[in-house]
Structure 1
Amino acid sequence: MAFSAIEPAPPAQMPTSRRALLMGMVALPLAACPAPVPAAGAAPAVSDPEWDRLYAAYRAAQVEEVERLAVFAPLDDAWGPGSALCEPEPTRPTIAPYDMSLPIGEAIAVAAGPDWEARWEAYEADKAAWKARDDAAYAAHVGDTGDRYEAACDACSAAVTALMGHPVATLSALAEKAELILTRYGDTVDGDDAKTLIADIRRLAAGEA
């Protein structure tokens, strides 16, 4: 069944690339592109305490998001059609093959049989009852892990929004912002172009550090 508490799309329906990225994340964004060594005789660094605060808040929120997903995802993945944990969904009623020698309306009526409407109504009632049981069993299975993951996603998104909305004062902060865009939205950003841009910014930032 689908997790329905959040989002654009429920956690279980998250695009595979994004979910795999979070599950496989063992380092935070800057680990992939470390800051350059300050150039000899470079000018004193320009500080941006507010950026540093917002970036630290984002990194903490990102860690929380990954940790919460690591707890929720295995439980969610274990649930679904074919799982021993789940009661099988009621089977839709079937009809006989059409007799194509008959007019189409008569062929459908004959194939469905006189009790088709009653059988379909019984199926819908059975499915509704099954869905209620399945929802309750799923909720008991995952507990509050889905809600905790949802809250972590919301917190991380809020941290990203705050960070991206902050006008950076240094090239190093600009590089971090570009890295953040590549890390969070890499599936919609040209990775090679973004990495080239980050390298250019880092090279310029070496002179200000």
Structure 2
Amino acid sequence: MTEYQERIINWLRELKEKEKPTEVISFYNGLPIRTRVNVLDVDDSGKFVHWNFTPKLQLAVEETGKIFTPFFDKLYKTSRMLESPVIYYSKDFMETTLPKPTADGRFNREYLRISVSDTLPLKAKLIVNNKTVEATPIDISEGGIGLLIPEKDLESGEKVHLIVEFPSCRTAETEGEVVRVENTSKGRRTGIKFINPSKAFQNEVNRYIMARQREIMNQIRMLAE
């Protein structure tokens, strides 16, 4: 066991002894779900941690399979986000492996990226070199949009004209740039960065993100009540 792991274990055992709750984060549809839970036990080997569980975490844990916890290392006076895979959970109990430093990119994003839902669908198409490419939106942020494209139409670095139809049936357009392309079983997952979007376009995006946040939080509340 490393010295760093020992400091994490000591921190967890101190939380248990003082019955002091700590912040726990998980993700559901891209939205960080935050709550506070107590450490119930750390096993003698230091490999497993028991926490109390709250229904607020249920959907996020089912989707993400892990929780994240901010840890302040007193020795070096630095903060680090830790992650713990969830092994088991029930109504009021959760078991994880020992938290370890995470490299999860969701904590380094400039903008919140939230998934698109069937109840609040988006439609999109791209115009590239006078050719129209139909696309299926899968997530969106203030800075860009993630799309599924059936064919190999786009490559990283290409400029596109993006047209998005929002649930209100309003459409908005902006220029964009392909910043990420990844092959998946459902098609080409393509990330488009917005280039100098108009205020009208940005307003539509912000309204959509707020509506999705409300929708997700309503789902969480229904479980927590």
Could you tell me the TM-score, scaled by structure 2's length?
A: 0.23
The normalised TM-score by structure 1 is 0.24
Which structure dedicates a bigger proportion of its chain to helix? 1
Which of the pair has the greater relative contact order for Cα pairs under 8 Å at 6+ separation?
1
Normalized per residue, which structure has more strand?
2
